[in-house]
Structure 1
Amino acid sequence: MRREALRPRLLGRRVPLPLAAWLTLVWTALWGEVSVGTVLGGLVTGLVVTWLLPMPPIDRGIRLHPLPLVRFLAYFAFDLVISTGRVVFYVLRPGDPPAQFVRVPLRTTSEPITVLVMVAISTVPGSLVVERYPGELLLHVLGRPGDVAEPVRRDVAGLEERIVTAFGTSRDKEELV
């Protein structure tokens, strides 16, 4: 019911008021002055444009769940601190740092969730997504000695789960099971 209130009908066609308001703001900014005439002209233009050129509904495949988002951000911040310390240690130490390539399977098939996982991995120092294959990622991992394939896979699985819990749809959550 709330969404319907934001999309009243004008001559039989729905007009999204938030988009019309945004277009009014852009119109006013382009004219460079805030006056009654400019705002009314922007509002009329916004209503006409949204009525004549209706946008199809877009589902970005992302939902926001506040408490799991806080959990994800806490883990992510902790991982940033630990990984930064690890990389700094190996940079200051003489010799080459340990580095490996690791193939990591993904359980989700959602493109937006996969992109979020890739961004989160690449943001953390010492890890980089080199390639994306269907259902898996190839990572370059720096600063972790020994055979790190299984620990890295577990870390990415946990990251993927936290991202799906914070941003995923119910279908995304079903894929993790």
Structure 2
Amino acid sequence: MPPVLWLTVVWVFLWGTFTPASIVGGVLVGALVTALFRLPPAADRLPVRPLRVLGLVVFLLWDLVVSGVEVSWQVLRHGPRARGAIIAVPLIASSDRVVTVMATALTLSPGTMALQIDHDHDVWYVYSLGPRDDAGVERARRGALDMQCRVLAALGTPEELAVARRLLEAVPR
């Protein structure tokens, strides 16, 4: 759907009236916004694999439930003594859009958050609630790499996915 049409729909919903005046106003505002604030053309084409995207969505929904229970358990069990860790995770994806999807997917999961993405050193820093020892840190690192593999399987290149899977296999269980 063209951006002007989307902006028109948003405009009409914001005004809360479906009248010719609000529609014309939305088209005018949408045209003005898209003319003044042009987005640069996308430099890369993402290979979208619909079944993998569907699998990613199902995994995210499941992970949301499981992570919510785990975070609740951490809070109930340890209260203010609950620990967290900031973990460096290798960054495989080269596309900014894929990295954005990975960081968003990881941050949607309760108890984890993408803190910083360092393209210069190909690493992203992830906060994880709960690791109390080195094994817990490795589990969290493995979880972030697993999320990266799932996103790359849906949207990444085969080469990036192969690298991510090799890194995932190298992390102890």
Structure 1 and Structure 2 fold alike (TM over 0.5): yes
Shift in CA distance, 162/22, structure 1 to aligned 2, threshold 3 Å: same
| Corresponding residue pairs, total | 145
For 1:83 and 1:89, the matched residues in 2 are separated by 10
Of 128, 136, 140, which residue of structure 1 is paired with 2:123? Answer: 136
Of 96, 111, 114, which residue of structure 2 is paired with 1:111? Answer: 96
Q: How does 1:149-164 map to 2 (within 5 A)?
A: 149-164=137-152
**2:84 pairs with 1:99:** yes
Worse-superposed segment, 116-125 or 58-67:
58-67
Shift in CA distance, 21/115, structure 1 to aligned 2, threshold 3 Å: closer
Runs of 4 or more, structure 1, over 6 Å off, are: none
Please name the residue that 2:41 is paired with: 58
- Is 2:131–2:140's contact at 8 Å kept on the other side of the alignment? no
Please name the residue that 1:72 is paired with: 56
Please name the residue that 2:168 is paired with: none
What runs of 5+ residues in structure 2 fail to find an aligned partner?
13-17, 29-37, 163-173
Shift in CA distance, 63/22, structure 1 to aligned 2, threshold 3 Å: farther
Task: Answer 1 or 2: which has greater helix percent.
Answer: 2
Shift in CA distance, 93/149, structure 1 to aligned 2, threshold 3 Å: closer
Q: State which structure, 1 or 2, has the greater radius of gyration over its C-alpha atoms.
A: 1
What runs of 5+ residues in structure 1 fail to find an aligned partner?
1-17, 40-44, 46-54
**2:73 pairs with 1:89:** yes
Measured after TM superposition, the shift of residue 57 of structure 1 is 8.3
Q: TM-score, normalised by structure 1?
A: 0.63
Q: CA deviation digits over 1:132-155, x for unaligned, max 9?
A: 212111111102332223222222
SS in 2 for 1:153: helix
Aligned residues: CA RMSD: 3.8
SS in 2 for 1:104: strand
Shift in CA distance, 173/92, structure 1 to aligned 2, threshold 3 Å: same
Identity %: 24
**2:108 pairs with 1:123:** yes
